[in-house]
Amino acid sequence: MKNKAFAVLAALACLLAGTGAFAAQPVEWQTDLQPAATTVMEGIRWFEEYTLWFIIPITILVLLLLIVVVVRFRAGANPTPSKTSHNTAIEIIWTLGPVVVLFFLAIPSFKLLNEELIIPQDVDMTIKATGNQWYWSYEYQGDTEVSFDSYLLKEEGRADAGKEDKAAYPRLLAVDNELVVPVGKTVRLLVTGADVIHAFAMPAFGVKIDAIPGRMNETWFKPEAEGLYYGQCSELCGKDHGFMPIAIRVVSEDQYNAWLQEAANDVGAANKALMASVDNESSDVKVAANSN
């Protein structure tokens, strides 16, 4: 119980802090969505809270109606059942009521879908992500081309990778090579599958898109805060589906440029240099909440 309480308090501390590098990952007993790291995710979180203003009253109304029906129209209280076939007023209410509710849900929903699906024209960089059984391959497209595979970090490899801190690099979520992007830059993400259908999901960015063999899907994100963000494959893809996490490290533009130049020759060395640079700026990695 102490560990669970600590995890919840750590998540709340990160939310209240609002600044600094943090690792977005699941925590025990959480019920809320992951803190937003993009404007799209901010819209998703707002829409969730907005819909509750309709869901909760409707649920309470239906519950009350069921109670009235059970109490008032049970056999003991109403031995002679009514033969009423229709009621014009009630039929108008239960027809127009849902229409009005759906109208208020549809407008912000379509606006949010439009923001998610339309790729901005001013894209800063393009990355291709390929889902494999059971790891991810990344290709940076541009003047400096970088490509590497990203596997689940094995326990015996933590020391060599310098990722022994399980608060920052949790079990079943940490990887050997993170996807590295600069903060405040618009990233166009091309997603496909090499063998079976996978799905690229990054909750903090509001990104979830299928990786289908023979098809190139695309989405985008623009991270607004530096940190380490975790996601997972979200399409059942075989026996090790639960062991192909996604990790994105968001850093400053200078750190990214230095990493990119070194990664063109040696991704492993570039990652270690980047980790050292990040650790120099902040020795603590705060933990943010995330929904499963």
At 282 the pLDDT is 60
Number of H helices, E strands in the chain: 6, 12
Q: Residue 290 pLDDT > 50, yes or no?
A: no
At 33 the pLDDT is 85
At 248 the pLDDT is 96
147 and 107: one domain? no
Residue ending a domain, among 68, 97, 117, is 117
Averaged pLDDT for residues 98-120: 94
pLDDT tens digit sequence for 40-93: 999 999 999 999 999 999 999 999 999 998 998 888 888 888 787 888 998 999
Least confident of 75-89, 153-167, 245-259: 75-89
pLDDT tens digit sequence for 131-151: 999 999 999 998 888 999 999
Averaged pLDDT for residues 219-223: 96
Residue ending a domain, among 117, 148, 179, is 117
199 and 245: one domain? yes
For 13, the enclosing helix (H) or strand (E) is helix 2-17
User: Regarding predicted confidence, which is higher, 238 or 8?
Assistant: 238
User: DSSP letter string over 253-280?
Assistant: HHHHHHHHHHHTT-HHHHHHHHHHHHHH
Mean pLDDT of all residues belonging to the chain: 87
Count of other CB atoms within 10 angstroms of residue 221: 25
User: Regarding predicted confidence, which is higher, 279 or 288?
Assistant: 279
Locate tokens 């590295």: which residue? 180
At 22 the pLDDT is 59
262 and 230: one domain? yes
CA distance 106 to 118: 18
Share of the chain above pLDDT 90, in %: 70
At 80 the pLDDT is 84
At 142 the pLDDT is 85
Burial of 159-195, coded b for 16+ CB within 10 Å and e otherwise, reads: eebebeeeebbbeebbbbbbbbbbbeebbbbbbbbee
132 and 171: one domain? yes
Residue 197 lies in a domain: yes
103 and 236: one domain? no
183 and 276: one domain? yes
